[in-house]
Amino acid sequence: MTYAKSIGAALLASAAMITSASACEITLRSSDTHPDGYPTVEGVKAMGEMLQETTGGRICVEVFHSAQLGEEKDTIEQTQFGVIDLNRVSMGPFNNIIPETQVPSLPYIFRSTDHMHKVLDGDVGADILGAFSDHDLIGLTYYDAGSRSFYNSQKPITTLDDLSGMKFRVMQSDLFVDMVGALGANATPMPYGEVYSSIQTGVIDGAENNWPSYESSGHFEVAGYYTLDQHLMVPEVLVMSKMSWDKLTPEDQEAVLEAAKASTEVQRKLWAEREAASEEKVRAAGNEVITDIDKTPFMEAMVPVYEKYVTDQSLKDLVARIQAVE
Ligand code: GTR
């Protein structure tokens, strides 16, 4: 090849790259409450890259992180209306609208991360994702969110007595309000974005979340005591608007689903790394982390929560199937 020809070929190749980079025929807008770099945000970005590749650059994903599109409860409604195409949310804010999502949101339902992965990657996980389609949504895949524990600005908590009468923020789900009540404390449901200032001003004593959220939200700056009671292991879920989904060809739907499923593996790896890094940062800041805690009374206190929420036979079956997973 002559020099001129090879330059020409190189120019054509880069022009083709530019075209393919800007050739998104469909751009799916995706919402996340977390900041850029958080494992869920990076998980959806990875999904977008895979999707772009498998569709020859036709379908792209644009992630709006840091609650740019709103707080979770509002973005769920917007996703149902087709204003937002994709949404990475906790299972919690779905509890009041999709009963099946209450099951993986029950306190102490999972015995370990392994148990949770086996459940979510199997039939039970598929059935719970399937339940979204009756609510104008398509459940695509699950992401990790570790386990949630209480943090507060007042004192180290080691027993149920310590929790008594304290005020904690929970996600906007009746199940979590009752969970905190069953432990003898008071729950205030509120959007994630209001928690920092509410702790700072003393409207609430604290909240509950996993290591990366406690750290990235800055809540650890205003709530210095973190008690690892690990009462919840609520998975994250990536959903798509049914309206956006219905606009795709069956082949493109398959590509979206495949990319979403494949991104779970990426997210789980990032999650494990971030969990360790967040813990290190919080400990280095001098926060008091309470690990020496007997979880048995916490677990026993949750029985009335199960009695109140697991009433339908279908939910009872889901709980039994989860418990039966080795
Ligand atoms: C985080 C979760 C968010 C959000 C938040 C909250 O762990 O990743 O989606 O639900 O908790 O407590 O509102």
Residue 257: CB partners within 8 Å, gap ≥ 6?
140
| Domain annotation for the chain: domains and CATH numbers | 3-91+133-145+235-277 (3.40.190.170), 148-233+283-324 (3.40.190.170)
Distance spanning both ends of the chain, measured CA to CA: 63
β-strand pairing of 86-90 with 236-241: antiparallel
Mutual orientation of helices 313-324 and 123-130 as an angle, nearest 10°?
Answer: 150
Cα-to-centroid distance, 70 and ligand 1 (Å): 13
Ligand 1: lining residues by beta carbon, under 6 Å: 33, 72, 89-90, 92, 145, 171, 192, 209-210, 213, 236
**Measured between alpha carbons, how far is 114 from 186 in angstroms, rounded to an integer?**
32
Query: What tokens appear for 7 in the block?
Result: 């330059």
- DSSP, res 96: T
* Residue 17 scores a pLDDT above 70: no
**Measured between alpha carbons, how far is 270 from 26 in angstroms, rounded to an integer?**
27
Alpha-helix residue ranges (DSSP H) falling in 81-122: 113-121
**pLDDT tens digit string along 81-99?**
999 999 999 999 999 999 9
pLDDT at 23: 86
pLDDT at 22: 61
Query: What tokens appear for 326 in the block?
Result: 């080795």
Pick the atom of ligand 1 nearest to 208's CA.
12
Apex CA 225: angle with CA 221 and CA 228, to 5°?
120
**pLDDT tens digit string along 134-163?**
999 999 999 999 999 999 999 999 999 999
The string over 159-172, giving b where at least 16 C-beta atoms fall within 10 Å of a residue's C-beta and e elsewhere, is ebebbeebbbbbbb
CB 114 within 8 A of CB 10: no
**Measured between alpha carbons, how far is 7 from 2 in angstroms, rounded to an integer?**
9
**Measured between alpha carbons, how far is 124 from 53 in angstroms, rounded to an integer?**
30
**pLDDT tens digit string along 39-82?**
999 999 999 999 999 999 999 999 999 999 999 999 999 999 99
Residue 132 binned pLDDT confidence (cut-offs 50, 70, 90): very high
**Measured between alpha carbons, how far is 104 from 148 in angstroms, rounded to an integer?**
13
Dihedral sign (CA 220, 34, 79, 103) = negative
Atom 13 of ligand 1, residue of closest alpha carbon: 192
**Measured between alpha carbons, how far is 38 from 35 in angstroms, rounded to an integer?**
6
Instruction: Write out the E strands in the chain.
Output: 26-31, 59-64, 86-90, 137-143, 148-152, 167-170, 186-189, 206-209, 225-232, 236-241, 288-290
The pick from 171, 188, 274 for probing ligand 1's pocket by mutation, whose C-beta has the most ligand atoms within 8 angstroms, reads 171
CB 219 within 8 A of CB 209: yes
Rg (CA), the chain: 22
* Residue 7 scores a pLDDT above 80: no
Cα-to-centroid distance, 192 and ligand 1 (Å): 7
Residue 218: CB partners within 8 Å, gap ≥ 6?
196
**pLDDT tens digit string along 239-285?**
999 999 999 999 999 999 999 999 999 999 999 999 999 999 999 99
* Residue 2 scores a pLDDT above 50: no
**Measured between alpha carbons, how far is 320 from 326 in angstroms, rounded to an integer?**
12
Pick the atom of ligand 1 nearest to 234's CA.
7
* Residue 8 scores a pLDDT above 90: no
* Residue 299 scores a pLDDT above 90: yes
The DSSP bridge partners found for residue 187 are 168
Query: What tokens appear for 225 in the block?
Result: 């005591």
Cα-to-centroid distance, 148 and ligand 1 (Å): 10
Pick the atom of ligand 1 nearest to 90's CA.
9
Pick the atom of ligand 1 nearest to 192's CA.
13
Amino acid letter at 128? I
**pLDDT tens digit string along 171-226?**
999 999 999 999 999 999 999 999 999 999 999 999 999 999 999 999 999 999 99
Atom 4 of ligand 1, residue of closest alpha carbon: 90
Atom 2 of ligand 1, residue of closest alpha carbon: 90
Instruction: Give how far Cα 244 sits from Cα of 51, 218, 257, 274, Å.
Output: 15, 34, 13, 32
